[in-house]
Amino acid sequence: MTSHATEKSSAGSATTWLLAEYDSPAACMHAAEKLRDAGYRDFDTHTPFPIHGMDRAMGLPDSRLGWIVLAMAATGLASAVSMMVWMNGIDYPIVVGGKPPISIPSMVPVAFELTVLFSAFGAVFGMFGLNKLPRHHHPLFESERFRAATTDKFFVSVSSSDPKYDADTTRQLLESAHAAHVESIEEVRS
Amino acid sequence: MDGRPIVREADLEEFKRNPSFAREMAEHPPLKSIYPDHDYSRGYQWGMVIDLNACIGCGACTIACQSENNIPIVGKEQVSRGREMHWIRNDRYYVGDTDNPQIVHQPVACQQCENAPCEEVCPVAATSHDKEGLNTMNYNRCIGTRYCSNNCPYKVRRFNFFNYVKDMPEVIRMAQNPDVTVRSRGVMEKCTFCIQRLIRTKRNAKKENRTVKDGEIQTACQQACPAKAIYFGNINDPESNVSILKTNDRNYELLGELNVRPRNSYLAKLRNPHPLLKGYEPDEV
Amino acid sequence: MANGTENIAGYSNPEHVAGGKFSFRSLTDKISGITERKTPPVWFVAFGAASSLLLVLLGSIGYLVWEGVGIWGLNNPVGWGWAIINFVWWVGIGHAGTLISAVLFLFRQKWRTSINRAAEAMTIFAVICALLFPGIHVGRVWHAYYMFPLPSQMGIWPNFKSPLLWDVFAVGTYFTVSTLFWYVGLIPDLATLRDRATSRVRQLVYGFLSLGWLGSNRHWQNYERAYMILAALSTPLVLSVHSVVSFDFATSVEPGWHTTIFPPYFVAGAIFSGFAMVLTLMLIVRVVFGLTELITLKHIELMNKIILVTGMLVGYAYAMEFFIAWYSGNPYERYVFINRATGPYAWAYWTMISCNVISPQLFWWKKLRTNIPLTFVISIVVNIGMWFERFVIIVTSLHRDFLPSSWGYFRPTVVDVATYMGSIGLFMTLFLLFIRWVPSIAMAEIKGVLPEADPHYGHGDEHAHAAVGVAAKAEA
């Protein structure tokens, strides 16, 4: 656990991350709580599965995804009903089975399905949007040890864009939570 | 007929006792619909009545229809598989004693139901109702899901399982009616009340600035029937033959209890056997 | 590891999940290893058989489109035969996957994590096989796009009152949402495979597909919310999609079809046949790929219980149909049911009853429902029975309906059978590809329900206690 003397980043230059590796979910969560309590905002944890209570440990607000899905559901419902009313009722009205061209009961199945479909799109693509995925190149992937983040190790990364970031203080904070390894990663800007 | 009131008949005594026996042979529940009835009170509204008393089951209607509407000949093997294409068919039922049965005939064509079960289930809107009460079949829109024929209680819809006209001999080609489309493989077809004749006659009437007279339009089946069992005309005209016949005591709708409101109806058959001709009871159907 | 960790933080018995014998790494190694090792020879044999059947399918479809629907056994009155039976059969099978993924998730049944990935994959492949049939059974396949609400030269639009059109939207939505749900669930596991990749090709492929996932908790937060929303959406989808499929029959006028019991009856039947198919597949996969400690006897027993329950629901529906047909006094309806049991297709009807109602009753006995060879046999028998159920519904109602003059008989042709077997080939081909290249158990999810995943796991760990203290303070 050697210390690196890394320059503090200044606005406009490459971002540095401090990446700490932990062996258990508890240790990782503890580290996150320490960072949260110390006032850090621009940090993250990287785990192979979501850990219970980590959102609170990091001080994260609730996900906004629900609102996106609700908006999409309403869009779906409105599109379905207007589509059917326009197509079968206004643009080319046909009489089938002696029933009036615009009839609400027969519109229910399609309206329901389109509401669900649009909501699902909202959930998936909204989630991708909120997470800014796909993002195939992230500087953290430069770390060899980071590969274990999807298997059995738990990482905490602190970005130098956080106002409280200091190469030495932050490193000490991370190590005090029993980190197995801490390394510094620089973003390579071409 | 397995106890079903399909061909309704009575002997003369029963008819005298109860003239509207035909309507009482089936329990007809009222239509309780959440939708208002469609308004068919304006313009021509085509309807047909078939008098079962007159029908002798000769089949001339079937052949006339085949000739008029370019109905394909499918061959013996396909008929044995149940794929004959006739738009109007003659149903024959045995009634009475199995050792000495009586026979009844019933020509069945598309009933042009006002509440057509076939129209509702077509996903591509290939069949719908026109404002004259016809159930129209749109061949170039039909993709052949066959849901309409499944839903037709009368099974009058015919599907082109193969390209039946592929190897049509030249002579038969020349005999085809140029006013009627030849259907391709994969589409559904059925009786259209000879719509080509309707259109031609209406157009001529319009040119002469008059309405179509009763009896001016004859469907092919009506024209060919030697017994004059088929009547066709405008049910919106209270003086047309069909309108008068539809008020007849013997008038009943085939499967009318399904509330599909067919435009086609039948006049029940009457028998008047000599009392010494045994083996037949009118109530045994 | 397993002792002394029972029921922490509300987890169900750890024996259900991974048998208490795995660590995060050993679990990852075991499951990823299947996709990383050389292909076992038995896979090639199975794939050869499956792809031969797939070729049979392609040939049958080609012949069908070339000659016409007449090469099948259909006629007047039986306008729908094997194609629609197969369609409903495959859609029904697909429903179990969604139930396992979505409904069991909402009910917090942790044991689902061993089987949900494969079950969802099965759903997607089953729905692909299902969607094939309405596409090809139409008379003019090259115009099948008329069913979509696209502008056309004729100016006319599809008829939204038609149940077939509701099917298009329902099954289409179901396929799309199931695929999205499956893919979203896969992303963390694909990232695992990317991070373990030893060849550049694997790294690129899995890397591309995992979208750059780095296990960030900010991402996990939105991800978990999306997963829960998808599960909440998929649950009404399971119920509605097969109900809409049942509307193809229930909204028609045919006796034997026109009955309100169809939606719940079809949904119960779908879950019934779907779980049977999951069992058939899982019993083979767990042995061939050595996953018996992850897909345990407990899982099998739970699935058998579900099969027993849904089988009884289906049996109840059969009895109720009969009763209502009699009680209604409708002569056409009464005749259809008497004809089913005693007419020309009685052999099909009694096959259905013995496969669907009688055979699952064996699962009342624990000894029998924990018997693996018997489970395998019954899972296949159930699916045969469910195929016959659709046969009975479709063919017997159509062949003798209102007018006796129209009564007929339906006989399948060789092409009908070949198309059906070919669809099984399509399903198996896709499933085998899935098993070989995609992690067949949801690694991230199963790790998440192991006792070690709980941050408060383990006694005598000071930091765990401190974490508990902090968490308790945060909760207060």
Give the start-to-end residue ranges of the domains of chain B.
9-30+42-275
pLDDT at position B273 is 82
Pick from A73-77, B97-101, C116-120 the range whose average pLDDT is largest.
A73-77
Q: Which of C22, C32, C38, C34 is nearest to C193 (CA)?
A: C32
Q: What is the ipTM of this complex?
A: 0.91
Confidence (pTM): 0.91
Q: Which residues of B touch A105 (CB under 8 A)?
A: 34
Triad B245, B249, B250: Cα angle to 5°: 80
Q: Is A163 helix (H, G, I), strand (E, B) or coil?
A: coil
CB pairs under 8 A between A and C: 228
Instruction: Check if B114 contacts A (Cβ < 8 Å).
Output: yes
Alpha helices in C295-413 (DSSP H): 297-328, 331-342, 346-353, 366-369, 372-391, 397-399
Determine, for residues A94 and B115 on separate chains, whether the beta-carbon distance falls below 8 Å.
no
Q: Which residue of C has its CA nearest to A141?
A: C214
Any idea which residue has 């599907």 for tokens? B159
Which subunits have 3 or more CB–CB pairs within 8 Å of chain C?
Answer: A, B
Residues 75-94 of C with CB under 8 A from B: 75-80
Closest-CA distance, C162 to chain B, in angstroms, reads 4
- Main-chain dihedrals φ then ψ at residue B50, nearest 5 degrees: -120, 125
Count the neighbouring beta carbons within 10 Å of the beta carbon of residue B208: 8
Domains of chain C, residue spans:
4-142+181-475
Q: How confident is the model at residue B137 (pLDDT cuts 50, 70, 90)?
A: very high
Percent helix / strand / coil, chain A, rounded to 5: 50, 15, 35
Q: Which residues of C touch A26 (CB under 8 A)?
A: 455-458, 461, 463-464, 467
Whether C423 contacts C57, CB under 8 Å:
yes
Q: Which residues of A touch C172 (CB under 8 A)?
A: 113, 117
pLDDT at position B282 is 55
Q: Is the pLDDT of residue C68 over 60?
A: yes
Count the neighbouring beta carbons within 10 Å of the beta carbon of residue C389: 29
Q: Is the pLDDT of residue C63 over 90?
A: yes
Q: Cα–Cα distance between C448 and B20 in angstroms, integer?
A: 77
Q: Is the pLDDT of residue A9 over 70?
A: no
Instruction: Taking residues C48-75, report their average pLDDT.
Output: 96
Instruction: Check if B116 contacts A (Cβ < 8 Å).
Output: yes
Q: Cα–Cα distance between C119 and C101 in angstroms, integer?
A: 8
Determine, for residues A94 and B125 on separate chains, whether the beta-carbon distance falls below 8 Å.
yes
pLDDT at position C274 is 93
Q: Is the pLDDT of residue C32 over 80?
A: yes
Residues 194-253 of B with CB under 8 A from C: none
Closest-CA distance, A82 to chain C, in angstroms, reads 12
pLDDT tens-digit readout, B210-248: 999 999 999 999 999 999 999 999 999 999 999 999 999
pLDDT at position C9 is 28
Instruction: Check if C401 contacts B (Cβ < 8 Å).
Output: yes
Q: Which residues of A touch B115 (CB under 8 A)?
A: 97-99
Instruction: Check if A91 contacts B (Cβ < 8 Å).
Output: no
Q: Which residues of A touch B122 (CB under 8 A)?
A: 96
The partner residue sitting opposite C221, judged by closest CB among A60, A120, A134, is A60
- Asked if the peptide bond before residue C236 counts as cis, ω within 30 degrees of 0, the response is no
DSSP 8-state assignment for residue C81: -
Instruction: Check if A172 contacts B (Cβ < 8 Å).
Output: no
Closest-CA distance, A142 to chain C, in angstroms, reads 11
One DSSP character per residue, C221-252 reads HHHHHHHHHHHHHHHHHHHHHHHHHHHHHHTS
Closest-CA distance, B138 to chain A, in angstroms, reads 12
Instruction: Check if C176 contacts A (Cβ < 8 Å).
Output: yes
Count the neighbouring beta carbons within 10 Å of the beta carbon of residue B25: 17
Determine, for residues C221 and A55 on separate chains, whether the beta-carbon distance falls below 8 Å.
yes
Q: Which of C89, C47, C97 is nearest to C282 (CA)?
A: C97
pLDDT at position B283 is 56
pLDDT at position A3 is 36
Sign for the pseudo-dihedral over CA of C62, C65, C66, C71: positive
Quick one: fold of B9-30+42-275? Alpha-Beta Plaits (3.30.70)
Closest-CA distance, B27 to chain C, in angstroms, reads 10
Whether C170 contacts C241, CB under 8 Å:
yes
Locate A58 and state its tokens. Answer: 């990091």
Q: Cα–Cα distance between A65 and A75 in angstroms, integer?
A: 15
Q: Which residues of B touch C137 (CB under 8 A)?
A: 145
Determine, for residues A98 and B128 on separate chains, whether the beta-carbon distance falls below 8 Å.
no
Which subunits have 3 or more CB–CB pairs within 8 Å of chain A?
Answer: B, C
**pLDDT over 90, % of chain A:** 52
Whether B102 contacts B96, CB under 8 Å:
yes
Q: How far is CA B260 from the centre of its chain?
A: 14
For B20, what's the count of Cα atoms within 13 Å in the CB-facing half-sphere?
A: 9
Whole-number mean pLDDT of chain C? 89
Closest-CA distance, A177 to chain C, in angstroms, reads 9
CB pairs under 8 A between B and C: 159
Instruction: Check if B257 contacts A (Cβ < 8 Å).
Output: no
Q: Which residues of A touch B137 (CB under 8 A)?
A: none
Least confident span in A45-49, A144-148, C162-166 = A144-148
Residues 132-171 of C with CB under 8 A from B: 134, 137-141, 143-144, 146-147, 154, 156-159, 161-165, 168
Q: Which amino acid is at C425?
A: G
Least confident span in B117-131, C284-298, C326-340 = C284-298
Q: Is C473 helix (H, G, I), strand (E, B) or coil?
A: helix
Q: Which amino acid is at B4?
A: R
Q: Is the pLDDT of residue C12 over 50?
A: no
pLDDT at position C346 is 96
For B128, what's the count of Cα atoms within 13 Å in the CB-facing half-sphere?
A: 23
Q: Which residues of C touch A51 (CB under 8 A)?
A: 217, 453, 455
pLDDT tens-digit readout, C181-233: 999 999 999 999 999 999 999 999 999 999 999 999 999 999 999 999 999 99
Determine, for residues A54 and C9 on separate chains, whether the beta-carbon distance falls below 8 Å.
no
Instruction: Check if C471 contacts A (Cβ < 8 Å).
Output: yes
pLDDT tens-digit readout, A76-119: 999 999 999 999 999 999 999 989 999 999 999 999 999 999 99
Q: Which residue of B has its CA nearest to C335?
A: B2
Q: Which residue of B has its CA nearest to C162?
A: B121
Instruction: Check if B184 contacts C (Cβ < 8 Å).
Output: yes
Q: Which residue of A has its CA nearest to C242?
A: A109
Beta-bridged to residue C22, according to DSSP, are none
Closest-CA distance, B133 to chain A, in angstroms, reads 10
